Structure formats: structure tokens, C-alpha cells
Chain A
Amino acid sequence: MDIKNTVIGIIAEQAVLEPNDVKMDSTLESLGIDSLGLVESIFAIEEAFDITVPFNANDPSESDFDISSVASIVAGIEKLVKEQS
């Protein structure tokens, strides 16, 4: 499974955008994804890859999972898929 395209597809669906409009340097904020949208996206990602993403909405910065851009999310998921497969 192409991790990058799958993650982008999930984020695009959440943002109600075409996958082409989601750039690697986009931030969730710039895509209009709020905290609920983020939690839903992470759920969809976990389901797609059958992994557990360590994310606590109370303190995203401490969650050892970088959500600052689409690129960082993709990198984080690639790492988790490798670790948890």
C-alpha cells in the first residue's frame, strides 16, 4: 500500500478537497481541519494501516507524533507502519 497517497487521500477526504490540493507542506490548519477532524483522520489512518497512533489531543506536541504538516504526518505513519508490522 502506498502510504503517502493513502494518508493524503484520508486527509483530503476530511478536508473535502481533491487529493491534488493537499500538498506535503500543507498544515492541517491551512486545510481547514480542526481538532475533531484531526481525531477522525487519525482514526481513519489507524483503520487503513491497522496500526495504533500514539496521539493525545490534550497535548499533541508531547504525543511523539508530529502533526505539524502533511509531510510530518506521512513520515510518522511510515515509521509506525514499519515498527508495528
Chain B
Amino acid sequence: MNRVVITGAGTINALGHNVPQTLEAMREGQCGIGPLEFRDVDRLAITIGGQVKGFEAEGRFNRQQIALYDRFTQFTLEAAKEAIGQSGLEFVGDLAARSGVVFGTAGGGVSTWDDNYRAVYEEGKNRVHPFVVPKLMNNSAASHVSMEYNLKGPSFTVSTACASSNHAMAQAFMMVRSGMAPAMVTGGSESMLCFGGVKAWEGLRVMSRDACRPFSANRNGMVQGEGAGVFVFEELEHAKKRGAEILAEVIGYSMSSDASDIVMPSKQGAARAISGAMKDAGVNPEQVGYINAHGTGTAANDKTECAAVADAFGPHADNLMISSTKSMHGHLIGGTGAVELLACIMALRDGVIAPTIGYEEPDPECALDAVPNVARETKVEVALSNAFAFGGLNAVLALRKAP
């Protein structure tokens, strides 16, 4: 089996328009969550989110591109530009033929659906733009990245709600590890912060009106975010041969299904995914120093996740750090695992653990080291990234410091 390393990273999210800005914000424990700004926000009960501000499509893309790029595709293309640029890879010949794109998204072009439903239902129009379908389809981001960078290998989009990005990156990892592809562009994107997108989430009654406070006893729900995270996964020898900078190594993954409830998480399903990722990576629990939690800030997720970690790690659960950066950038739904992987890279490469901000009161049901409010400097050998989706579909990735 081949070893798989990350040679490029890119992002845009509420904390920053690129990786350095985002990591700086995570180090500083900054909060990217604030008042939502879009049409009809006054008709919502939930009016906060981790919205990407100062991002104008005009100036980044031409008129024809904007007609085809939903906001989630725009985010993906910007993040892909940063990631592929950093990797230094140019996809030509055999490399292009065998390398592909696997992205995650839960909703795809939600604001395109929203705008066009509004046009036909509310405004009574009988005609919509000819590119509505190619703009809103869940695979449009993957397709546009493949076209932009000449990636002609296996390419598709994975949609497993809040675990979409982790499932996508697991696919990319498997392809590079097995030798199917020398490199894969992977990650995920989401842009649901529009009237219909937030209105749908409001209905579930799990959203906070004031802040995302994972693991804190006074947490009162999740806060949505938006953005994208994109990575270049590359076979180790391929990367070494060309002298590429290696950000971290991906060493394992695991996927599981709770097979129990459409929204309530299961400790067993989560614990199986966590243990499975360590087993696949060939590491002992004691080697894991940091977990980027799913940590949504809902009552149900956080206590279930902590119980799962306690089960999977035994006594070592008390020695490791587990933080939720959703407290800063919000929950990017299908894109969340991709942005959160950056916190794992920062832990492994820079020895900086991103904090869980908004942490106010310890919860006996979440009695782990959540790295409250302030980042911590410490060396970590192995990190995990958890994602547990609605529908009970779980995906956990394991990473190690660059070889």
C-alpha cells in the first residue's frame, strides 16, 4: 500500500479567505460567527451564522462563469486554487489521466434552488435561467475543478450530510493508497446561508440563537457556517521525488453507520468509527494526542461524542485534547470536515491546538479536555478528525505529522 500525504491546502470560510488567515484566527480563538446578511433574514428566528464576508463573485469570476457557478462552487474554486497552487502540481499526461476530484457537499447549490423557487413561486415568473440545473447540481463544484485543472481521473461528489467531506476525503485517500491515483483533489464545500437554507434548519429546533458553545454545559445548539476546504492528497514517493512540501500524512480512516435513528447520534456507531480509524492507521490510542471533534454544540451530539471517545480510548481519553472549531467558523455541514482538517494539520505541523471558544461551564457529560477558549502549544504525533452525520453515517480520518 502507498503512503498518502497532503501537499496542498486551501480554504475560504468565516475565519478567513485562505489557509494562513484561517489558522491565524484559530490560533487566536477568533469568532467568525455574526449577524446573517441576506434577503428576508428578518423573517428568520435564527439570525446568526458563520457567513463568509467580503467575498464578491464579481472580480473573481467573469460573467459567464458566474452564470454557472453557485456560491458553493465559487468557494470550492477559490480553495482549489490555493491548494493546487501550494502543491505545485501541474496535471498533464499520465498524472492528469489518473488524478481526479472527490468532494463532499450536503446541499450543493442551495441558493440557486432558493433564488429560482422564489422567482417562479413568489414572483410568479414562468421562466428561469437556462443554467439552473448545471449550477445547482451537487457535482458542479467537482466538475468545474476537474475542468479548470485538467483532472481526468475518478471524480465524483459524496453527499452524507455533515460527514460529506470526511467521506469524500476517505475516498480520495483510498484511491491514492491503493495506487489507483497518484494524486487526488479532495475536500468539500457548502453554502446554505440563504433564506430557504436557514429556514429549513430552523424547523429542527436545534439551532442556537446566540452562539455555538460545544461541550459547555450551557450550550444551546448549533450555528451554521459556509465555505470550502480543499486538499491535494498525493502518494508519498511522488511528492518526495519532486521535492514537494508535505503538510501532514493521512494514515487511516473508518466509516460506519449507526443503523438506528435519522437524527439522534449513537455512541456505538461513533465509537466504532473512531476505533476503526486507529486500527486502519495502525496506531494505538495512546499515540493520539488531538481529536478535532464533530462538536456541533447540540445537547445530543456533544455528550454522545464524548461518551464515544471515552469508549474508544479508555483511560487515555483523559490525556488527549478534543476541540471543536465549529465554535469559531460554524457548522459547514457538508464542507465542515474539510475546514476542520486544517486544525489537525495545524496541530501536527505547528504544534498548535485550536481551542473550543465560547466554553463557559464544564459539563459532567463532556468531561474531556476541550481546550477551552485559548489555543495550546504542544506536540502531537497523531490526530483524528470526527464527522458524524444526520442519518447516522460516520467517517473519521487519522493523520500523522509529515514524515
| A interface residue numbers (CB < 8 A to B) | 35-36, 39, 42-43, 52, 55-59, 62
Report the contact-size class of chain B (Cβ under 8 Å from the partner).
Answer: 10 to 19
Interface hits, B360-399 → A, CB 8 Å: none
Given contacts A58-B299, A59-B299, contact A39 B204 (CB under 8 A): yes
Bound Cα distance A55, B220 (Å): 11
Bound Cα distance A42, B220 (Å): 18
A80 to chain B, nearest CB (A): 15
B81 to chain A, nearest CB (A): 38
Are the C-beta atoms of B263 and A36 separated by less than 8 Å?
A: yes
Are the C-beta atoms of A56 and B263 separated by less than 8 Å?
A: no
Chain A positions within 8 Å of B221 at CB level: 56-58
Chain B positions within 8 Å of A59 at CB level: 220, 299
Bound Cα distance A62, B219 (Å): 11
B107-120 contact mask (Cβ, 8 Å, vs A): 1 or 0: 00000000000000
Chain A positions within 8 Å of B25 at CB level: none
Are the C-beta atoms of A57 and B204 separated by less than 8 Å?
A: yes
Bound Cα distance A62, B221 (Å): 13
15 example contacts (A-B, Cβ-Cβ < 8 A) are as follows A35-B264, A36-B263, A39-B205, A42-B205, A43-B203, A56-B205, A56-B208, A56-B220, A56-B221, A57-B204, A57-B206, A57-B221, A58-B219, A58-B298, A58-B299
Whether B92 is near chain A, meaning CB under 8 Å from some CB there, is: no
Bound Cα distance A39, B203 (Å): 8
Interface SS, B side? loop
B89-126 contact mask (Cβ, 8 Å, vs A): 1 or 0: 00000000000000000000000000000000000000
Chain B positions within 8 Å of A58 at CB level: 206, 208, 219-221, 298-300
Known: A57-B298, A58-B299, A59-B220. 17 other contacts (CB 8 A): A36-B263, A39-B203, A39-B205, A42-B205, A43-B203, A52-B45, A55-B205, A56-B205, A56-B206, A57-B204, A57-B221, A58-B219, A58-B220, A58-B221, A58-B300, A59-B299, A62-B220
Closest to A35 in B: B264
B201-222 contact mask (Cβ, 8 Å, vs A): 1 or 0: 0011110100000000001110
Chain A positions within 8 Å of B264 at CB level: 35
B206 to chain A, nearest CB (A): 5
Chain A positions within 8 Å of B205 at CB level: 39, 42, 55-57
Whether B262 is near chain A, meaning CB under 8 Å from some CB there, is: yes
- Considering residues A36, A56, A59, which has the most beta carbons from chain B within 10 angstroms of its beta carbon? A56
B216 to chain A, nearest CB (A): 12
Nearest first, the 10 A-B pairs at minimum CB distance are A58-B299, A57-B205, A58-B221, A58-B220, A39-B205, A57-B206, A58-B298, A59-B220, A55-B205, A56-B220
A15 to chain B, nearest CB (A): 18
Bound Cα distance A54, B206 (Å): 12
B217 to chain A, nearest CB (A): 10
Closest to B205 in A: A57
Bound Cα distance A52, B205 (Å): 12
Bound Cα distance A59, B205 (Å): 10
B252 to chain A, nearest CB (A): 33
Closest to B221 in A: A58
Closest to B263 in A: A36
B42-74 contact mask (Cβ, 8 Å, vs A): 1 or 0: 000100000000000000000000000000000
B297 to chain A, nearest CB (A): 8
Closest to A57 in B: B205
Closest to A36 in B: B263
B338-357 contact mask (Cβ, 8 Å, vs A): 1 or 0: 00000000000000000000
A38 to chain B, nearest CB (A): 9
B22 to chain A, nearest CB (A): 27
